Homo-oligomer: A and B are copies of this chain.
Amino acid sequence: MTASTILIVDDEAAIREMIRVGLELAGYECLEASNAQDAHGLIVDRRPDLVLLDWMMPVTSGLELLRRLRRDELTRDLLVIMLTAKDDEDNRVQGLDVGADDYITKPFSSRELMARIKAIMRRSTSREEEESIEVAGLKLDPSSHRVFVDATPLEMGPTEFKLLKFFMTHQERAYSRGQLLDQVWGTNVYVEERTVDVHIRRLRKALQTELRDCGLLIQTVRGTGYRFSTTGVCA
């Protein structure tokens, strides 16, 4: 188990269960917050690897918190497992829609919990250090969340940034729209595939400066998807 921290929102029973089972955790914490905003803030603060999110939180809504987590760049990649009541199918679907990685119905067995956590963590790519990436005169700095061509900063939205980041870390390879949705938007998100086209366009536009047109770095692969390649100019 690679969890360095597991953070449980509003469900002491769950964590006790985990401890009982002997889940090897480098650390864990049980969090209580009166509203989604506070909870979100605390989570950002603690930087856990995994969040067990109780759907039936007394005060705030699990859905609301999950939305916030998925919206924020800082917590977007967080693994979130919902804890839902046994028959609460609507919420489950809703949760998956909003971007929960998985759910567990209460009451759950420790074995199931562990299996889920294992599966989820195996599935997710390990987060590594965020170093700035530089390709063909294009520099992307994850920490400052900015992109430069030579020295001039470029303007772009969060989605375009993430898209570019993915491309810069996965060059010279064609990706289908579906794969891009999966990688950039995240799993369990229903978005039209054509939406990718639009964001590609926005990104290409953003990569244009008076000096260089780095939008050419993003090549369209007909019938397949897109590819980021330095073969296409922007020297």
A182 touches which of B93, B122, B222 (Cβ 8 Å): B122
| Beta-carbon contact of A173 and B143 below 8 Å | yes
Copies of this chain, complex-wide, total 2
Flag whether A187 is at the interface (Cβ < 8 A): yes
Among A7-15, A24-32, A63-71, A111-119, the stretch in contact with B: A111-119
Task: List residues 61-96 of chain A with CB under 8 A from any CB of chain B.
Answer: 86, 89-90, 92-93, 96
B153 touches A174 (CB 8 A): no
In the complex, the answer to whether A112 meets B126 with C-beta atoms within 8 Å is: no
Interface of A is mostly: mixed
Interface size band for A? 35 or more
Is B122 within 8 A of A153, CB to CB?
no
- Counting CB contacts under 8 A, is A221 at the interface? yes
Most buried by B among A146, A190, A227: A146
Q: Are A116 and B96 CB-contacts (below 8 A) given A122-B178, A157-B222? A: yes
> Is A92 a contact of B119 with CB atoms below 8 Å?
no
Please tell me if the beta carbons of B126 and A97 are within 8 angstroms of each other in the complex: no
Inter-chain contact A158/B224, CB cutoff 8 Å: yes
Minimum C-beta distance from A137 to chain B (A): 18
Partner of A119, one of B115, B157, B172, B187: B187
* Most B C-beta atoms less than 10 A away, residue of A108, A119, A176: A119
A178 touches B125 (CB 8 A): yes
A107 to chain B minimum Cβ distance, whole angstroms, is 9
A169 at the interface (CB under 8 A from B): no
With A173-B143, A173-B144, A222-B157: A111-B93 Cβ-Cβ less than 8 Å:
yes
Residue from A108, A145, A153, A173 with most neighbouring chain B CB atoms (10 Å)? A145
Contact B123 A123 (CB under 8 A): yes
A223 CB-CB contact with B under 8 Å = yes
Closest 4 CB pairs of A and B: A158-B223, A145-B174, A122-B182, A96-B115
